[in-house]
DNA sequence: TGCCGAGTTTAGACGGGTCTAACCCTAAAG
DNA sequence: CTTTAGGGTTAGACCCGTCTAAACTCGGCA
């Protein structure tokens, strides 16, 4: 049996791997989980003993297949909970993260199945992030680009908003930046700031690079052929 | 901030106090939580430091007002969750206890409020146990009697089934023993076994004293005046 | 009154998860 | 090829919640 904390480490490593697809370094995990590096090192020792991570000293870790399965289970719990909370308990998409983060470790397989069923086996959560399927097969990254990677004048459809900060998410919602909306890229400033107009809002919104890079688009809008 | 484990101890003491309304002894808590007595002693030290229990060495503990408030909060979480799971996620009343026991420590005030709202501020859980109100005022025990305390021939209405064992609960449900049903007491055997017929079942059911004592009746049916 | 047994507490150990301080490895810059 | 800065690991400490073994207290009984 794994502790909540171990599950958190595996989830963190999984998510960092999605972003960088490289070996994950001690300091990255420490940053992600708000813990010191020696703490991470000692936890990695334990995870290695259990064959949940592959380790190379001084060179970071990757998840083993088993570790990845555990991480997927947790991510599935998290995203199903987020979906359920918004769908059935009237939560706003900006609020669900913290609640799901606490509950994800404590629901049974039975609960997971019932929630998935109540939602009709959804494929994405309210942020547009894919929910791992019940068989926990590693999803193939269908990945698109962030809105920061387009030219001014392009019109794109938002697929996913991968930020976790509730304040940022509220702000985005207020300005019409949510999964499913169309966004016209108005300007990309040299320092990375993206200005765009949502189909759901009157005024354009400007987003610093750190925020814009979390707003993902499934497929680039084709330029005129 | 209190740990999950501390919350469990406070809840256990609260529930034991409801049953015995006396000082609660170390060994009772140990039994309830399935840990050893020394473990209980050391935890009681900590709870006393935090002024959550009143303690007299070698003589057991009682909850302080503050300790009771914490316990009521947990019990409220537990019973609201039980109600929600049966009402909205299609759980059977026999299955909800274990799930609620894990989740009760991890839901936010916000979640609690939303669940209570979705249920319409219910006053009892699926077992008929009273749900503490949101203000966490100690409920006055409106208590009745267990079915073991009646004469053969009496007809009573089940108010609460205070068992926690899923197998026992399933068995009772199969034989029509649930909150709200009428029960005709057919026989009280000298060794405490109660035989009764439910308005919801054809055949009578016999319950050993240990089970019968958990089946509560709100008010005795008045004998003919 | 004095002893005895049941139950409680103390003492000491351990694993989990965290920290700080000190040491060491790696890789990049000269 | 050597130095060095940055980051990773080791060492050692602490608190939590648990245990076993040993000492103690209480209350009933001879």
Poorest-confidence range of A104-118, A153-167, B36-50? A153-167
pLDDT above 80 for A200: yes
Closest CA to A97 of A35, A161, A180, A166: A166
Residues of chain B positioned with their CB less than 8 A from the CB of A98: 108
Q: Would you state the pLDDT for residue A224? A: 43
Q: Is B161 helix (H, G, I), strand (E, B) or coil?
A: strand
Residues of chain B positioned with their CB less than 8 A from the CB of A88: 88, 118
CA distance B103 to B41: 26
CA nearest to B108 within chain A: A99
Cβ contact (<8 Å) for A89 and B111? yes
CA distance B118 to B58: 46
- pLDDT-based confidence at B143, cuts 50/70/90? low
Q: How many residues are listed for chain B in this entry?
A: 225
Q: Would you state the pLDDT for residue B225? A: 43
Chosen from A5, A77, A92, A99 to mutate, greatest number of chain B CBs within 10 A = A99
- Cα–Cα separations (whole angstroms), residue A46 to A24, A39, A192: 16, 11, 40
Considering chain B, what is the average pLDDT of its residues?
93
Q: Report the percent of chain B where pLDDT is more than 70.
A: 96
Those residues whose C-beta lies under 8 Å from the C-beta of residue B16, and which sit 6 or more positions away, are: B24, B28, B29, B32
Pairing relation of β-strands A205-207 and B194-198?
unpaired
Cβ contact (<8 Å) for B111 and A95? no
* pLDDT mean over B133-147: 85
Q: Where do we find the tokens 């909850």?
A: B63
pLDDT above 50 for A220: no
DSSP A158: E
Considering chain A, what is the average pLDDT of its residues?
93
Q: Compute φ and ψ for B158, nearest 5 degrees.
A: -70, 125
């Amino acid at each position: 049996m794994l502790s909540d904390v171990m599950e958190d480490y595996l989830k963190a490593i999984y998510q960092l791997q999605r972003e960088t697809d490289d070996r994950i370094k001690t300091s990255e995990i420490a940053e992600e989980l708000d813990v010191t590096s020696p703490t991470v090192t000692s936890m990695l020792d334990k995870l290695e003993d259990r064959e949940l991570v592959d380790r190379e000293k001084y060179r970071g870790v990757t998840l083993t297949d088993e570790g990845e399965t555990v991480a997927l289970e947790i991510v599935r719990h998290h995203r199903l909970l987020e979906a359920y909370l918004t769908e059935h308990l009237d939560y706003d998409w900006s609020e669900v993260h913290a609640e799901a983060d606490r509950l994800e470790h404590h629901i049974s397989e039975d609960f997971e199945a019932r929630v998935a069923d109540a939602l009709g086996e959804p494929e994405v959560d309210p942020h547009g992030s894919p929910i791992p399927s019940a068989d926990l097969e590693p999803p193939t990254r269908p990945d698109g680009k962030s809105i920061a990677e387009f030219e001014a004048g392009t019109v794109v459809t938002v697929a996913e908003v991968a930020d976790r900060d509730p304040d940022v998410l509220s702000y985005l919602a207020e300005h019409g930046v949510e999964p499913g909306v169309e966004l016209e890229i108005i300007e990309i400033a040299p320092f990375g700031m993206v200005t765009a107009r949502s189909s759901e809002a009157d005024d354009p919104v400007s987003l610093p690079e750190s925020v814009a890079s979390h707003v993902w688009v499934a497929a680039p809008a084709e330029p005129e052929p």
